[in-house]
Amino acid sequence: MSIAGGIDRAPARANEAGCETFQCFTRSPQGGPAPELTTEIIDNFKSEMKAFGFETFYIHTPYYINFASLKNNVRHGSISVVRSELERGSLLGAKYVMTHMGSYAEQTLEAGIEKVISAIKSVLDGYKGTTGLLIEIAAGSGNIIGDKFEEVGEIVREVNRGLLPHSCMSVGVCFDTCHAFASGYDFRTKDGARAMLKKFDVKIGLKWLKLSHVNDSKFDLGEKRDRHEHIGDGFIGKEGITMLLNTPEFSKIDWLLETEDDKREKDISTLKTIRNN
C-alpha cells in the first residue's frame, strides 16, 4: 500500500482495495532519510487500523539492503536501516519487518552468507521491540543470497540457535511464491506442494514460516527471473497457487500480494475465493 501523504493513510487505502491485512514501506524504498513518526502520526495510524478492523500489517525494508556487501558503509548502513525499521515497526504495531538479504558479488557464497548471519545478529543485538524480523526467499538472479532453502536454512539456524520461534529476537521466513518458483521449486500439484514443504521443513524448519508473498510469475519454472504476474495470468497459474495455499501450513499464515495496481482488486478477490473454498 502506498504511504503517499503519510503512512497513516495506508489503512484506508488497504480497506478500499478489499484487503484484510497489508504491507507498506515506512520510507522511500530507493533511499533517503525516513520520514519522522510523530506522536500524531502514530496515533492516527493506530486509530485508522482500529477503524478499518486491521489486526496486522507488515513493513518491507528498502530495496537497497545488502548485508553481504564488501563495502563497509553499505553493510553497516543496511544493519542500521533494518534495525531502524524494526523500531519504527514497534512504534506502529507492525507484526513483522521483512527484508531481502543482498548479494555476494566478488566473494564466495560462503563468505556472503557469513556476512549476512553476522549482520542479522547485529540488527537484533539488544533489540527489545515487539516487531519481528523476516528474511525473504529470493528468486536466484545473479549473486543474490537466499534462493535455495539450504542457504536460508543456514542463516535461520545460525541466527536462531537457542531462540524460540515466536521470539522477536529470532528471524523467521517470508515465502514468496514467484521467487521460489523462479528458483526451481515446483508446487503446482498437490504432490509437488507436499514435497516442497517437506524439503522446506528439512532444510529450514516449517516453524519459521511466518508469512507469504503470493504472486504469479511472468517466467517459467527455474528461470531465475523476479517478475510478478497477476494471479492466474502467469506460469504458476491459479491452480498452482491454490495447491500451495490450501495446505495447512499456508492456510494459517497471512498472504500478501505484490502485483500491479491494474488488476490488484481482482487478485484479492481470487485469493479470497481460494481461501474460502
C-alpha cell at 85: 525499521
Phi and psi dihedrals of 174, rounded to 5?
A: -105, 120
pLDDT at 162: 83
pLDDT digits (tens, 9 = 90+) for 23-59: 999 999 998 899 999 999 999 999 999 999 999 999 9
Helical pair 237-245 and 190-203, crossing angle rounded to 10 deg = 50
pLDDT at 165: 84
Instruction: Please tell me the least confidently modeled range out of 14-28, 159-173, 179-193.
Output: 159-173
CATH number at residue 134: 3.20.20.150
CA distance linking residue 216 with residue 224, whole number of Å: 14
Position 184 in a domain: yes
Position 6 in a domain: no
Position 131 in a domain: yes
Position 189 in a domain: yes
The domain tally of the chain equals 1
pLDDT digits (tens, 9 = 90+) for 175-221: 999 999 999 999 999 999 999 999 999 999 999 999 999 999 999 99
Sequence-ordered list of residues with C-beta below 8 angstroms from that of 277, at least 6 positions apart, any chain = none
pLDDT at 140: 85
Position 266 in a domain: yes
Amino acid at 158: E
Whole-number mean pLDDT of the chain? 96
CA triple 97-147-154, angle to 5 deg: 75
Position 89 in a domain: yes
C-alpha cell at 147: 534462493
Mean pLDDT of 247-256: 97
pLDDT at 233: 97
pLDDT at 107: 97
Position 161 in a domain: yes
Position 8 in a domain: no
Structural domain range at position 92: 21-43+53-276
